[in-house]
Structure 1
Amino acid sequence: MTDPVARFIGQAQRSGIVAVCDHASNRVPDGIDLGVTRETMEKHVAWDIGAAGVTERLARSHGIAAMLAEVSRLVIDLHREEDSSGLIPTTSDGILVPGNIGAGRERRLADYHRPYHAAMESWLDEAQPGLILSIHSFTASLESAPTARPWEIGLLYNEDDRAARHAIRLFGELGITVGDNEPYSGKQLNATMNRHAEAHGRPYCAIEIRNDLIAHERGQARWAAIVADVAGRVKLAMESA
């Protein structure tokens, strides 16, 4: 299996800040036909629009080493547990994904999901970071359930809200509209951080940025700078607690 599941930018500093981006790519590997249009592959159902750009800028401009996924979540959602019903979606936000009906679950787990998480585990074990940033984006309104989502950024968490509490306060002090476990709850959707952060006692911020704010390079640069600043202050606050 030589198909890339992730790419890395920068050198992780021990006890420093690192960033991961599970939905960075809309790439469909050769040999997989999802049966959807090219237009669908540019939508939020295929990847987190703008999240890769923010994560890349965190690494290149702010010295925060990063790991970015290289497979579309319509192929397999790397931010789901192996037994999740949404692991290989047959529909997403009302869009049918016919190529996933009857798809070989074990093959995709072996080819993409397990190598991705094994690589992340090894990377984090070596770096022993002081703070993990999990970078995602969300759409302002789902097509299948068009309810406005007013937040500019959201902080998600499951049981460990140590870093999130500081981040919610600090983003709020900047005049940003912040969601506390919004637009959805980390109690239900926190698979990667449950596995690689909470299970090891590692502090983390699972960050959701509204994708219309980061769809273009200017917004990606702006939000990367904001996130990097807040992340640095979160880490300091936790170290001095």
Structure 2
Amino acid sequence: MSGNIALLGADDPSPIVTKNPEGSSSFLLIGDHAGNRIPSVLGDMGLEPGERTRHIAWDIGVARLGELLSTALDAVFVQQVYSRLVIDCNRDPDAADAMPAVSDGTPVPANAALDETRRAARIAAIHTPYQTAIGAEIARRRAKGRPTILIALHSFTPVMRGYARPWQVGILYDDGDPTFAQALLTALRDEGDLTVGDNEPYRMDLIDYTIPRHAYPDRLPYAEIEVRQDLIDDEAGCRDWCDRLVRVLGAASIAMG
């Protein structure tokens, strides 16, 4: 195929779902990997059904957790609904692992030999609209004089490459203004019943894309929250963690003054 490629057909949903768009909270919730849909033109990407529902395909639990938090906090939640195997919206779109040929040991046949035209189609259809939607929401709030605390919701697999991860939750931060993230880290530790990761199970670094793009330049307060997937893989777990996160986000806000 050559020329422009239409990645999304008439029956494919928009890549972006915004919950509670009129929410009044200063928190802006985002979900880079909230969904695991695959555009119909890509079929099953050469993957078995089980591979399309495990952690390599999306952040398990984040869509439901974000919906609950959006309601509980009266916060806007901007989520991206396509699989991170189609394109990872928390990566620079030009990075090799934005469309990985192998993920956690699993080959992704549809990504094995992508040419620039096919890569550009995924960027234009999914990555760019998602990042544009976040930027537009921040700009809208700024124009109204409303503060924004950017909260990226992610989840992580309990075991990775044979290593059982001990944390129930981690807070990721790096450059820009990490003050809110550090206050949130303290609030989670103060809960007393958690093993909390400080930039674990991943460091926020130059690999990350969304928070650095939208929070760092204007020094917006932010935090990236990683919740272990076995704790939010059902309704009860999502509700428990919603309650907890509402509590600690409030405590961090108070600590910030």
TM-score (norm 1): 0.93
**1:17 match:** 27
Q: Among the aligned pairs, what percent are the same residue? A: 34
Q: Which amino acid aligns with 1:54?
A: L
Are 1:13 and 1:127, in contact at CA under 8 Å, matched by a contact in 2?
no
The alignment partner of 1:132 has SS state of strand
- For structure 1, the residue ranges without an aligned partner over 5 or more in a row are none
The alignment partner of 2:233 has SS state of coil
**1:42 match:** 53
Per-residue CA deviation, residues 189-213 of structure 1 (Å, 9 max, x unaligned), is 4311000111221101100000000
Distance 2:22 2:243 in 1: 18
Per-residue CA deviation, residues 160-201 of structure 1 (Å, 9 max, x unaligned), is 321111011100010221100000100244311000111221
Relative to 1, partners in 2 of residues 1:123 and 1:39: Cα closer, same or farther, differing over 3 Å? same
Greater displacement, 122-131 / 157-166: 122-131
Distance 1:199 1:71 in 2: 27
Distance 1:83 1:162 in 2: 30
Pick the aligned partner of 2:104 from 90, 93, 96. Answer: 93
Q: Given the alignment of the two structures, is residue 111 of structure 1 paired with residue 125 of structure 2, yes or no?
A: yes
Q: Which amino acid aligns with 2:240?
A: R
Per-residue CA deviation, residues 37-64 of structure 1 (Å, 9 max, x unaligned), is 1111110000001111110100123312
Are 2:23 and 2:74, in contact at CA under 8 Å, matched by a contact in 1?
no
**1:124 match:** 138
Per-residue CA deviation, residues 109-146 of structure 1 (Å, 9 max, x unaligned), is 1111111111111012112443111000000112xx21
Distance 2:38 2:50 in 1: 14
The offset of 1:12, in angstroms, is 4.5
Q: Given the alignment of the two structures, is residue 148 of structure 1 paired with residue 164 of structure 2, yes or no?
A: yes
The offset of 1:14, in angstroms, is 6.1
**1:165 match:** 182
Q: Given the alignment of the two structures, is residue 51 of structure 1 paired with residue 51 of structure 2, yes or no?
A: no
CA RMSD of aligned residues (A): 1.6
Per-residue CA deviation, residues 54-108 of structure 1 (Å, 9 max, x unaligned), is 1010012331220111111010001101221211011100000001122211111
Relative to 1, partners in 2 of residues 1:15 and 1:200: Cα closer, same or farther, differing over 3 Å? farther
How many residue pairs were aligned? 237
**2:39 match:** 29
**2:5 match:** none
Pick the aligned partner of 1:193 from 191, 203, 211. Answer: 211
TM-score (norm 2): 0.88
Question: 4+ residue stretches of structure 1 with deviation over 4 A?
Answer: 12-15
Distance 2:141 2:80 in 1: 18
Distance 2:180 2:22 in 1: 19
Distance 2:217 2:22 in 1: 20
**2:221 match:** 203
- For structure 2, the residue ranges without an aligned partner over 5 or more in a row are 1-7
